[in-house]
Amino acid sequence: MSTARLSGLTVFLPSHNEEGNIERVVRGFCSTLPGAADNYEIIVVDDGSIDRTGELADRFAAEDPHVRVVHHERNRGYGGAVISGIRAARQPYVLLCDGDGQFDPADVGLLAARIGDCDCVIGRRGRRADPLMRRVNGEAWTIMMRLLFGLKVSDIDCGFKLFRREILDGIELHAKGAMISTELMARLAGRGARICEVEVKHLPRLAGEQSGNSLKVIARAFRELFVLYRDLKSARRV
């Protein structure tokens, strides 16, 4: 598959307490993006971190004009960080990449090669480098989302997604937790967005802790699931 050079790309990195990962992730994109886009920016969304994530991000921004930082004074959750990243993006293409260092910046070329035919290209983790229970839960969640919302996506929560900027314009998103991935894809599908998937590498987490399997995160996801399902069902009736 050939790669495609983009006219302009925003990469935003939702990050909460990622001081052990954020430098590697930002520097990886700083090395990769000059070969992938004519213009680019990297936005670190510091979601109320209580470690040095925000401090390190500010240092990168002072060193490199391509780097910007959005600070949340308090933790808004993964969904809140994604919403802030989308709103802050300035370039015609927008890449969501989790700030935990589990995706290879070089794989942006795989997604860019397909964006000419699609409005949104979603990464699919071929060999997911997560504990067994997290993989099982993720697969079950994706199957449920496919059934409830009719989404033809095999890895809905993959945190590596490329969008055309115009398909995101004016989109209203409300989920504050992990449900943001499903809400984003469901609302884009409702707009008639052309969505495709590309297999990407998934790397082991080298530092920090995962929170996706905590009872608090799971409970919030189910609450937001019911709200989204009711909202979309009501919209179809109008």
82/233 Cα distance (integer angstroms): 24
Pick the CATH number of 6-237 from 3.90.550.10, 3.30.565.10, 3.30.70.100, 3.40.50.1010: 3.90.550.10
212/204 Cα distance (integer angstroms): 15
235, exposed or middle or buried, with CB in 10 Å at 0-12, 13-18, 19+? exposed
* Cβ partners under 8 Å of residue 59, min gap 6: none
Bridge partner residues of 70 (DSSP): 45
Specify the pTM: 0.88
Predicted local distance difference test score (pLDDT) of residue 231: 77
pLDDT tens, N- to C-terminus, the chain (238 residues): 446 899 999 999 999 999 999 999 999 999 999 999 999 999 999 999 999 999 999 999 999 999 999 999 999 999 999 999 999 999 999 999 999 999 999 999 999 999 999 999 999 998 876 777 777 777 787 888 877 787 888 888 899 999 999 999 999 998 888 889 999 999 999 899 999 999 999 998 888 776 555 667 677 777 777 777 777 766 554 4
Predicted local distance difference test score (pLDDT) of residue 145: 80
Q: In what order do the strands lie in the sheet with 67-72?
A: 67-72, 37-47, 6-15, 93-97, 160-164, 120-125, 195-200
Predicted local distance difference test score (pLDDT) of residue 238: 42
Residue pair 104/205 in contact by the 8 Å Cβ criterion:
no
Q: What is the dihedral of CA 86, 130, 210, 174, to 10 degrees?
A: 30
29/114 Cα distance (integer angstroms): 19
Predicted local distance difference test score (pLDDT) of residue 210: 63
